[in-house]
Amino acid sequence: PNLMRQDDVQLRPDGVFTLLRIPDGRTYDFTVEWTSPFGTTARAAVRESPQGLQNRGSITIPVDDISIKVVDFDDRPVAGADIGFGGQAVGKTDSQGVVIIGQVPLDNTYAVTVTKDGTQIGSDNIRFTSSRTSATLQAGIYDITVLVKGAAGQPIQGALVELVRGGTTIARVATDSSGTAVFGKVVGADYTVRAAYEAFSSSANLARGTRSTTITLDLYTVLLGVPMTFATFLALIIGLILLIIVVVVIVSEYIRWRGRRLGIYPAAPPKK
């Protein structure tokens, strides 16, 4: 039976308690419980006499500080992420992606959530024990790589690529010599990427978790600084061929006419 009255227990803020009016010479079952802000309870029980308990000096309950590290899809630390633990907000990750949570009852499972920029990017149920006081959680943060190429398959350098979420442009990057634009450490969500070069533009929709895409612009080539589509380039080539033919015909006729004037070529026969 519970032989203690509430008034016989004095507990100090530093965790030291005093039990009053306990007859010595007998053995008692002492049970200590502590309920955390996360709704879990740590419990310890010992069987001792009052003098034995006094000599023991302390009762250890399974409570410890635990650490959670948040990494992205490439195992890079995620800084500034909001951590939820056991239904409570416990703070943000530091520059190493780590948050320390103090006085956690062990041998319990806790729901851990990770939120960044208002979007939940990770969650898990993790059991912490005396042999496991740390955990690593992979969150939905990753790089998005966009390849911009022309109608002939050539990479387009200097194209402006925009990353759009919910109708708002959140980042802009220009493509390099390989036609590639990289958006680093993007929060996992649905995105639209838009690419533009001169008068040419196109876009692609990326579902959450998509890490790369290719955008093809209707740009076939750039001639004398003028960007052209394949149709424009083909029309130009045909026009040049026709122009060459016309010039050849005109020059040929002129040579023949000049030759007749100089008597090099026989005169044309009279018409009947």
Q: How far apart are CA 92 and CA 123, in angstroms?
A: 15
| CA-closest candidate to residue 59, choices 33, 27, 24 | 33
216 Cβ contact list (under 8 Å, min separation 6): 148, 149, 150, 151, 202
pLDDT value of residue 230: 67
- Beta carbons within 8 Å of 232's beta carbon, 6+ residues apart: 220
Provide CB contacts within 8 A for 230, sequence distance 6+. Answer: 151, 152, 218, 220
According to the model, what pLDDT value does residue 75 have?
94
pLDDT at residue 265 in the model: 61
Region of 264 please: left (phi>0), alpha (psi -120 to 50) or beta.
alpha
Q: What is the pLDDT of residue 268?
A: 62
User: What parts of the chain have a pLDDT lower than 70?
Assistant: 1-12, 14-24, 222-226, 228, 230, 261, 263, 265-272
Is this structure's pTM higher than 0.75?
no
Q: Check residue 38 and report its DSSP letter.
A: T
What pLDDT is attached to residue 17?
A: 63
Beta-bridge mates of residue 29: 47
DSSP 47-81: EE-HHHHHHH-----SEEEEEEEEE-TTS-B--S-
DSSP reduced 3-state for 185: strand
